[in-house]
Amino acid sequence: MRGALVRDMRTLNASRRTLQRITRRTERYEKKHGGTMPEKETVRRAHKDARQGKAPSTQAGEFVREEIHHVREGKHGARSTKQAIAIGLSKARRAGVRLPAKKGTSARTRAQAKRDLAKGRKPRRKVSSSRSRAVRGALKREGHSATSSRSLAKHARSSARKRSASQRSAAAKKAVHTKGAAGRSAAARKAARTRARHGR
């Protein structure tokens, strides 16, 4: 009986030390990068996209998806849909996704993207912990409607209108090529379920 109790205590202490190690690692990441550490599942999906030859924008989409879930769960807010997407893109670049800024973006956005990419390659400099806390506090004061289905749909329509028909067609062809037969079949089944649910 005593031996079993001792083993349980050792297991508990080992688990506690592991948790403390993970916590310290997360805190170090946040101090270096000035933001929250990406979840392991998000990083795993991004690596899988990279192995499948998908574009950096697709890899970064995993981090944007994570940010949208964070806002919806109440971890923090966002002033607009664009801000939530920008946070996800910044986190993706700092995690190592090679996604440069678009040509039509402002000089300030391009400079920030360049800094994020440099930090993703080799994080050299610590970010002030008080500044990181201030950023997180400001985000927590923002609302959560920016990631609603209506807001995301509105942003998607606005972005699509800015692209030409040939650009949309090229993107669709590339998506079909990288998705694969199994992916296309799954997407078709999902689309059929959606149409049935909405009675179309």
Domain co-membership, 93 together with 189: no
pLDDT in tens, 82-97: 999 999 999 999 888 9
Q: Does one domain contain both 156 and 114?
A: yes
Give the model's pLDDT for residue 155.
Answer: 92
Give the model's confidence band at 9: pLDDT under 50 very low, under 70 low, under 90 confident, else very high: low
188 with 90, same domain: the answer is: no
**Is the pLDDT score of 21 beyond 70?**
no
pLDDT of 12 higher than 80? no
Confidence band, pLDDT 50/70/90 cuts, at residue 19: very low
Are 147 and 194 part of one and the same domain?
A: no
How far is the C-alpha of 32 from the C-alpha of 10, rounded, in Å? 33
**Token reading at 1:** 């009986």
Q: What is the domain count for the chain?
A: 2
pTM of the model: 0.66
Q: Letter for the amino acid at 58?
A: T
CA distances (Å), origin 127, targets 30, 33, 113, 148, 179: 8, 6, 16, 31, 38
Query: Token match 């990181």: residue?
Result: 132
pLDDT at 117 over 70: yes
Clarify whether residues 116 and 146 are in a common domain: yes
| pLDDT value of residue 13 | 59
* Shared domain check, 178 and 108: no
Contacts of 6 (CB under 8 A, 6+ apart): none
pLDDT at 22: 45
Q: In this structure, which amino acid lies at residue 81?
A: T
Cα angle: 2, vertex 20, 31; to 5 degrees: 175
On whether both 104 and 195 belong to a single domain, the answer is no
pLDDT score, position 140: 86
Q: pLDDT digits over 125-155, tens only?
A: 666 778 778 888 888 889 999 999 999 999 9
Residue 45 sits in which domain range? Answer: 2-162
95 and 193 fall within a common domain: no
* Shared-domain flag, residues 143 and 190: no
**Is 15 in the same domain as 93?**
yes
- In this structure, of 6-10, 178-182, 195-199, the range with the lowest mean pLDDT score is 6-10
Q: Tell whether 76 and 172 lie within a shared domain.
A: no
Instruction: Specify whether 154 is located in the same domain as 176.
Output: no
Q: What is the pLDDT of residues 56-114, one digit of tens each?
A: 988 999 999 999 999 998 889 999 999 999 999 999 998 889 999 988 888 999 999 99
pLDDT at 20 over 60: no
